[in-house]
A and B are shown apart, each in its own frame.
Chain A
């Protein structure tokens, strides 16, 4: 079974703090993604990566950055957390090189981040 593990399930951070969300996948997938999930808005893509040290902006990259130093690990960074970044963050991975059509994306269990 594919396993996508997000290290923190629940976090509470203060406004202005730097926040790291870590994600590891164990299936040697090339592609990794970070989404945020908000009620009534579904999932929105923040950043994705299709190879080590490669990253591409998704639909809502503002206020976020990412790091992919190793194939299995994809980190989301909030440089200076703000209250409007309170959300559920989902990491995902999929096989294939550059976004192969029809590839299934596998999701982690999510990280609930509250910024106060």
Chain B
């Protein structure tokens, strides 16, 4: 069965610091990869997704993620975080063999200090 690991459960950064959130998945076949964000009191929103083509994916609000197949990774990055990026971030993967259902990581809570 496929699984997703997010390395850090809590991250605290100061405004303008750079962000990188790790995500690794355990599946050797073709995968679709996603990052979702949940701001306090709001519903989950899609930040970005990858399913083919350029492994460097750009999403909303200045976020990007890089798919590195050899490392089974899909890390999320932002060069300069803002207080408004405080949220919980979820990595997710889907595969055709698993019926394209989303499997989520445990989430990373990001707190940005102003």
- Chain A residues with CB under 8 Å of chain B are 4, 33, 35, 40-45, 48, 56, 58-59, 90, 92, 98-105, 107-110
Contacts and interface: CB of A to CB of B under 8 A. Distances in A.
A45 B102 contact: yes
A12 to B, nearest CB: 19
User: Is chain A's binding surface mostly helix, strand, loop or mixed?
Assistant: loop
Contact of B43 (A58, A104, A108): A108
B88 to A, nearest CB: 9
A98 B96 CA distance: 10
Given A99-B100, A99-B101, A42 B42 contact: no
B98 to A, nearest CB: 9
B94 interface: yes
Contacts of A103: 100
B105 A42 contact: yes
* 7 residue pairs, one from A and one from B, having the closest CB atoms: A99-B100, A102-B51, A107-B44, A42-B104, A43-B104, A42-B106, A109-B43
Contact of A101 (B45, B100, B103, B104): B100
| Interface range, B side | 20 to 34
A107 B45 CA distance: 7
Interface in B26-59: 32, 36, 42-46, 49, 51-52
B43 A98 contact: no
15 contacts: A33-B101, A33-B102, A35-B104, A42-B6, A42-B90, A42-B104, A43-B92, A43-B102, A98-B100, A101-B32, A104-B46, A104-B49, A107-B45, A109-B43, A110-B43
Contacts of B92: 43
A58 B51 contact: no
